[in-house]
Structure 1
């Protein structure tokens, strides 16, 4: 008998009919002799609808604590309905919120990290032969405050819980039937990967691939959780995420990701004095603003210009935070721009293969796009370009790195991040 965690995203349980289909799949899996723990997201577009509702009530930015109170209700609806559906099929199930199953988080509303899990209640229900259904995306602080884990947090809930209860397998069910070399909605001949390494998947997730949340991959890697991504709508084999993936002959780049949620902020005329950049980026960190690529564009007469990328949603806050320290730092002005996209190539084979970067630059330039920013690591390279070139560049890179396949048929729709 195996202990399996099954996670279902919002589109998988988006209607009563889909909810019943998921319940049937769970009951069938349990009948095979497995103990089952299920993590569920809010139904369909529930979270977006709750956010819209808050905007109708609140003119400005709603209090973060109250937003977490509001958004966690979506998952509570899902877990209770799924438990009912399993009961109607003659099996036994019990539903828990994140805090009822012992999910402890840090005190950051909107994007809290899990700090500890006390799964005794989950394990007791498993011993009683019940299907345990847990609300994803949520937890509670040591002080009893309800928190959310950020968009995609249900993936993190599932993998972290799998690690805590020492599950044999964690399956992420979504509306695509695995992990592809790139978004099949852009490249029709994208290939579905049989397997991929934790490191490659972590890079792809951080760089915009929407199938798995980065924190979930981090947990899987750190605790060696066996992870499979597969479709909730088909019986097709999914993609395994593991420590070392098989290497296809001649395939250096395994995947191409892109992130449209990106802005560039530039700080112009910064005096060259020790501690200036430390002050800027410490202030941004204290405001919980994540910074990605940082570039110095030149020094003239003791003044330097710096640019960094951040999420588009943090753009306005980042500018306001930096303007707040203008008198202290002494820079001339701060500007920002959007309509950008970060396109990235990822592959463990890149580290030992010359010419990978040159080929990426050649493809982008041949399509008439300018490269605004560049970032590299051992297994990835990212270029920030104007968003109008996105589709052509992704298609060009996919072909250039020999990722096209003539017989691949894409099964699924937009990836489910909750």
Structure 2
């Protein structure tokens, strides 16, 4: 008998009606003769209620207790789905991480999976039960841990690998589109997308599937179907695309609130990129696009982009380490955004980037920074031009 893993996100657990819809979706899979394992992320309202009374205490002092609270939220979600399925006449059993054999490393927050013992899950499936698992929790040395962002989807992929499931279904807010429909109303739902393309979309702000889950799915070649509850179709994420291979650019992504930091050196000063970025990394400052300008007998500069949320911390780190790093000044520019085109066929089709830059030039959109990979070209532009740039590039590559 075939096995399928269903990851139910928080958006599918926001109301009694949504829970009923999720139960109906799972019920249909059971009727199609699948063995079904459900991974439930949590309940948004319950999670907020649980965390609110302790918000006045520091996060560092709460990591163990926060993990327990987050575990409670996902247990409520798993149990609610099991009860909804039982009400529909199906045998269903809710499991905690310990009962499901989910082992992680010893970090209380953002724990990583280390092993899965599927014995109990297999026993329940053999008995015909639909198994629902609290998705955001794990166990380490008898302690509850929290899998953190993307943990539920990553667990679903790991279970699919261990149980040799045909695929994972991610019940999300929507499928994957060629662009954000709020910015580009004529964006189209994609039937299929490769793991590499999905990784780029995930890193560039598409919140439907976390990079952790995509990376694990690529490693074990686990196909994922991303689908909204009331959709008849979704988007398949897998190794090879069977359709639309002629499309060089598959989609446009964007990320707002980008800051450009520039560090300048006197002409005779030695520039150590390793020292600069090692220092930032030690303080968990995530750097994205990097541009170095070096000219003989002139001031040298290194510019890099970071998320706005880390701006203040990055400035402090640079100021605290100015003497050790040897730079003469640090400057910044806020009010920027990153717009990217993505497509795995770009690597074998020259001229894609030139076409992008030409369209942005025609639209009189200033490009501040550029980053490229085999399947992505990203530009940093003024934030008030972000929507304009996304719409223009979506039109340029005929994605509608």
**TM-score by structure 1 length?**
0.86
Q: Deviations over 1:348-405 (max 9, x none)?
A: 221122221112112223333222221111111111112111111111001100111x
Offset at 1:281? 2.1
Matched, 1:125 2:124: yes
- The counterpart of 2:160, out of the listed 159, 162, 183, is 162
Distance in 2, matches of 1:359 and 1:49, equals 50
Offset at 1:116? 3.0
Aligned to 1:341: 337
Q: Deviations over 1:319-373 (max 9, x none)?
A: 3333332232122344444432211111122112222111211222333322222
Distance in 2, matches of 1:311 and 1:106, equals 28
| Structure 1 outlier segments of 4+, above 6 Å | 59-62
Whether the 8 Å CA contact 2:41–2:77 is kept in 1: the answer is: yes
Q: Which runs of 5+ in 1 are unaligned?
A: 405-418
Distance 1:329 1:345, change over 3 A: same
Distance 1:139 1:307, change over 3 A: farther
Matched, 1:58 2:57: yes
Aligned to 2:383: 387
Offset at 1:303? 5.3
After the TM superposition, which residues 6-405 of structure 1 pair with which residues of structure 2 at under 5 Å, given as runs? 6-44=6-44, 46-47=46-47, 54-55=54-55, 57-58=56-57, 63-108=62-107, 110-141=109-140, 144=143, 146-150=145-149, 152-176=150-174, 178-234=175-231, 236-248=232-244, 250-260=246-256, 262-269=258-265, 272-273=269-270, 276-298=272-294, 304-404=300-400
Q: Which runs of 5+ in 2 are unaligned?
A: none
Offset at 1:300? 6.9
Distance 1:141 1:333, change over 3 A: farther
Aligned residues: 399
Q: Which structure shows the higher helix fraction?
A: 2
Distance 1:51 1:261, change over 3 A: farther
RCO comparison, higher one (Cα < 8 Å, 6+): 1
Aligned-residue CA RMSD (Å): 2.7
Q: Deviations over 1:152-191 (max 9, x none)?
A: 3322221122112221111111121x22111122212111
